[in-house]
Structure 1
Amino acid sequence: MSDKEAPDAPEAKKKGGKKKWLLIGVSLLVLVGGGVGGGLYASNAGLIGGAKAEAGEAETSGPRLVPKSEQVRASAAEGEGSGEGGSRPPAGAGGEKYASTYYAMEKEFTSNLRESVHFIQVGIAISTPYDNTVIENLKTHEMAVRSQVLLTLGETSEDDVFTAAGKEKLAKRLAAAINAVLKQKEGFGGIGNVYFTNFIVQ
């Protein structure tokens, strides 16, 4: 009998050892899986660095607002100094919070006025508080933008072009029309204001 019991003892030890390693492996998988799951949940809930990462991704994937402190001043771009004893306030002091970037469209727009024998010829420039992405989008889709501006001008009445209030209203309509085109094409408008660089009614 003792001869038969001797071989069974190592088998029992082997089975017990396999179970032990199997339990350790399963425990490690549960711990690692739980840790990864918990980390992903905390990240998505904004408990650890997730909100900052998402905000950074959103900023880099689209236009970024340019703080006034980063604004390139005209005199700095031309290499001029501020002069001796200049009393100019530093960039970012007062006024709007964000810098304005301006872009003048090269060609003027000519259109008939609605229900009128008169026509209008305007030059326009836009401003945006965002980085150059908006200007690049505008240049990329210039043909579509020009078409929409002409349609908007064609819907303008004489009353809107002979008064300052009417011209301001027209500028807002043009800004909305340009933003609509950019939103359709790029998913983001970004045009703050439209300015007239030339305005003739004949």
Structure 2
Amino acid sequence: MADKETDEPKKKGGLVKIIGLVFGGLLLIGVGLGAGFFMFGGQGLTPSAEIEQIIERKLKESGQLPEEDAEVAEDAEPALQKKETPSVDTFVTSYFEFDGNFTSNLRESRKFLQLGVGISTQYDETVVANVELHQLALRSEILGTVSDFTEEDISGKEGRDRLAAKMVEAINAKLEVLEGFGGIDSVHFTSFVLQ
């Protein structure tokens, strides 16, 4: 029996030694990781940022990138260049849109053109007031102008621009007869449907 009693303390002592060695090993690993993080991990660079730094440094050494002044921080953004705005006299543009759509047949065609029309002027409110006052007469001028165009005449952007220019001429001519002054700068199409 004395042999059994002496075996138990040896087992306990062996188990305590193994636990001590494992705990000591873990403690050494933790201290090593902590020291490594303290020394190298505080920079906060990701691997890709670190690679970019290395490439940038190599390019500067080879002369392919200009050297930065020591005073300028690496993270500082470059100063933005400003362009000066040219001094130009600008005028306020006033707009007016005719109510409803204009529908007219086209010359030599069975198709109809349906338009939404607006005008713009850089003159004072008198021109817009004149357009509002004489809407009925101006609607007639617009419809007459549209009916002089063929389907081919209004195709494409150039065709629409020619139609708009003819409308400006017709509206201004009618306003000159009615009020003594036209003043319309542009005609704008808010809708343009060929049916």
Q: Structure 2 length normalisation: TM-score?
A: 0.54
1:99 corresponds to 2:92? yes
Partner residue in 1 for 2:183: 190
Match of 1:172 among 165, 168, 187: 165
How many corresponding residue pairs? 111
Report the structure number with the largest CA radius of gyration: 2
Match of 1:109 among 97, 102, 108: 102
1:160 corresponds to 2:153? yes
Partner residue in 1 for 2:124: 131
Instruction: Supply the distance in 2 between the matched residues of 1:107 and 1:188 (Cα, whole angstroms).
Output: 25
Instruction: Supply the distance in 2 between the matched residues of 1:201 and 1:103 (Cα, whole angstroms).
Output: 23
Deviation of 1:115 (Å): 0.6
Which whole-Å deviations, capped at 9, do the CAs of 1:52-107 have from their partners, x for residues lacking one?
Answer: xxxxxxxxxxxxxxxxxxxxxxxxxxxxxxxxxxxxxxxx9767732211111112
Instruction: Supply the distance in 1 between the matched residues of 2:86 and 2:161 (Cα, whole angstroms).
Output: 27
In structure 1, give the amino acid aligned to 2:139.
Answer: R
**1:125 partner SS:** strand
In structure 2, give the amino acid aligned to 1:99.
Answer: V
Instruction: Supply the distance in 2 between the matched residues of 1:159 and 1:176 (Cα, whole angstroms).
Output: 21
1:150 to 1:95, Cα distance in 2 relative to 1, 3 A = farther
1:165 to 1:129, Cα distance in 2 relative to 1, 3 A = same
In structure 2, give the amino acid aligned to 1:161.
Answer: I
Give the aligned CA root-mean-square deviation in angstroms. 1.7
Which whole-Å deviations, capped at 9, do the CAs of 1:151-196 have from their partners, x for residues lacking one?
Answer: 0011011112221100000000011111011000000000000000
8 Å contact kept, 1:113–1:155: yes
Partner residue in 2 for 1:88: none
In structure 2, give the amino acid aligned to 1:116.
Answer: S
Instruction: Supply the distance in 1 between the matched residues of 2:132 and 2:104 (Cα, whole angstroms).
Output: 21
Instruction: Supply the distance in 2 between the matched residues of 1:165 and 1:139 (Cα, whole angstroms).
Output: 28
The percentage of aligned residue pairs carrying the same residue is: 42
Q: Structure 1 length normalisation: TM-score?
A: 0.52
Instruction: Supply the distance in 1 between the matched residues of 2:169 and 2:94 (Cα, whole angstroms).
Output: 18
1:111 to 1:146, Cα distance in 2 relative to 1, 3 A = same
Partner residue in 2 for 1:6: none
Structure 1 stretches lacking a partner, 5+ long: 1-91
Structure 2 stretches lacking a partner, 5+ long: 1-84
Instruction: Supply the distance in 2 between the matched residues of 1:162 and 1:108 (Cα, whole angstroms).
Output: 19
In structure 2, give the amino acid aligned to 1:133.
Answer: T
Deviation of 1:120 (Å): 0.1
